[in-house]
Amino acid sequence: MILFSILQTKLRKCGWLNNPPLVCAHGGDSTNAFPNTMSAYSIALHSQVDCIEIDVSRSSDGVLFALHDRYFHLSTNLVFCPASLLQTYVAAVWRLDFYITQAGICSGYLLKELDVYHQSGNSKIPTIEDALKLISASVRQVILDAKVGPPSYEKGLANDILSTVEKMQCKNCLIWAKSDSLVRDIIKLSSDVAVRR
């Protein structure tokens, strides 16, 4: 009887081994690569994580990127950048670890200099479609962390994200948002996508 009791105690303490926690790589492996890049996702996949979280931001021309919204706060002009220039600018910030403030970034100032640093393949900012192509079939869960910001804020963001999830057939996508109105919009538009706030 004592042996049975000890065994039960050990099973209770180690019961999680039968149902282990989900290991989720935030932005991919952001220890060994810039977060939310194809390199970060590839390294995380190589580490056999169960889940990858992707930050979702939208450029001024409506393209969804794997990008944390903190990069939009580096320059007041950045929020009005189209997709191509946004990729170039943020890649340069990652590489050079410097901040350009209101220097006319979107008017093309420094574009050639910045583009030199944008050229290396796996450090570019992926679109959500590119990120999902790489990771969705290789992990149990994909968390899309929707970032709400200027210039469009929530306007049309739920539809943009859901359209991308549907197009990419991401059945293991969970949409996460801190914005109550975005969560409500997503719930209204889709009943088959998991939403958390």
Distance (Å, rounded) from C-alpha 160 to C-alpha 148? 12
Instruction: Name the class of domain 22-73+125-196.
Output: alpha beta
Q: 């930050």: which residue's tokens?
A: 55
Alpha-carbon separation of residue 17 from 20, 51, 102 (angstroms): 5, 18, 52
Residue pair 120/87 in contact (Cβ under 8 Å)? The answer is: no
Would you give the DSSP letter of residue 69?
Answer: G
Comparing 116 with 1, the larger pLDDT belongs to 1
144 contacts: CB under 8 Å, gap ≥ 6: 54, 56, 128, 161, 165, 173, 174, 175, 176
pLDDT of residue 31: 84
Instruction: For residue 7, name the pLDDT band (cuts at 50, 70, 90).
Output: low
Residue 64 gets the label, from left (phi > 0), alpha (psi -120 to 50) or beta, of beta
Instruction: For residue 3, name the pLDDT band (cuts at 50, 70, 90).
Output: low
The mean-pLDDT minimum among 7-11, 59-63, 124-128, 130-134 falls in: 7-11
Helices and strands in the chain: count of H runs, count of E runs: 7, 6
Each domain of the chain, given as residue ranges in start order, spans 22-73+125-196
pLDDT, tens digit (0-9, with 9 covering 90-100), for 20-38: 788 899 999 988 888 888 9
